[in-house]
Chains A and B, each alone.
Chain A
Amino acid sequence: EDQVTQSPEALRLQEGESSSLNCSYTVSGLRGLFWYRQDPGKGPEFLFTLYSAGEEKEKERLKATLTKKESFLHITAPKPEDSATYLCAVGSSNTGKLIFGQGTTLQVKP
């Protein structure tokens, strides 16, 4: 069964304190792994697509990496404006659907 698990559920950091979010997945055929950021009451904002193990993508303070079983979203020197829920999703090449994890809610305190 296709499944995505994100950890931790919630993460509190001090401004400047780097950390990583984890996304573990099992999927019968990986079309892509996607990271989104979602602010309360708004639609998810696309961040990255990763297609194959070893791939890395960066955007400002965020860096996403992919292995055969998991992905990490590294946040370097976070700022309060990075506070949001980060969603990981895998695209199934069999069904075309996105399977979402439950999300990690990040709070960065000044």
Chain B
Amino acid sequence: DTEVTQTPKHLVMGMTNKKSLKCEQHMGHRAMYWYKQKAKKPPELMFVYSYEKLSINESVPSRFSPECPNSSLLNLHLHALQPEDSALYLCASSRGFGDEQYFGPGTRLTVT
């Protein structure tokens, strides 16, 4: 099973809202990632967790706050987003940091 699940599939939020994206994998992978993808562009790395610890933050604005409650779950908390943050948010996991990554279906986020 190489499935990564993400919820919700779609999210519309106002600039003053607080929401969270969720990601789950049951492959025993120890690295998990958040990416942001704009139309016709490749995924852009935001955060990396390795063994449940944040190992990379790609200078992401503080309105995005990641959390890794356990080795299977990854959350992305959103607060005071801007319209330019509208994008497809992808979660991925890999056996170890740097190994082949398996992506979830993504959450389509629209900020109004």
Contact = CB atoms under 8 A, between A and B. Distances in A.
Interface in A66-88: 87
Nearest to A94: B98
A82 to B, nearest CB: 19
B98 A100 contact: no
A44 B41 contact: no
B44 to A, nearest CB: 8
A96 B98 contact: yes
Given A41-B88, A98-B45, A102-B42, A46 B98 contact: no
A89 B45 CA distance: 12
B101 A100 contact: no
A92 B6 CA distance: 26
A42 interface: yes
Interface of A: 31-32, 34, 36, 41-46, 49, 87, 89, 91-93, 96-98, 100-103
Interface stretch (B13-21, B61-69, B78-86, B103-111): B103-111
A46 B29 CA distance: 15
A102 B100 contact: no
A92 B98 contact: yes
Given A98-B45, A103-B42, A43 B97 contact: no
B102 interface: yes
A93 B98 contact: yes
A14 B102 CA distance: 30
Contacts of B48: 96-97
A36 B104 CA distance: 13
Given A34-B100, A46-B100, A41 B106 contact: yes
Chain B CB within 10 A, most for which of A42, A93, A101, A102: A42
Contacts of B98: 31-32, 91-93, 96-97
B97 to A, nearest CB: 4
Contacts of A46: 2, 100-103
Contacts of B74: none
B56 interface: yes
Nearest to A97: B45
B90 interface: yes
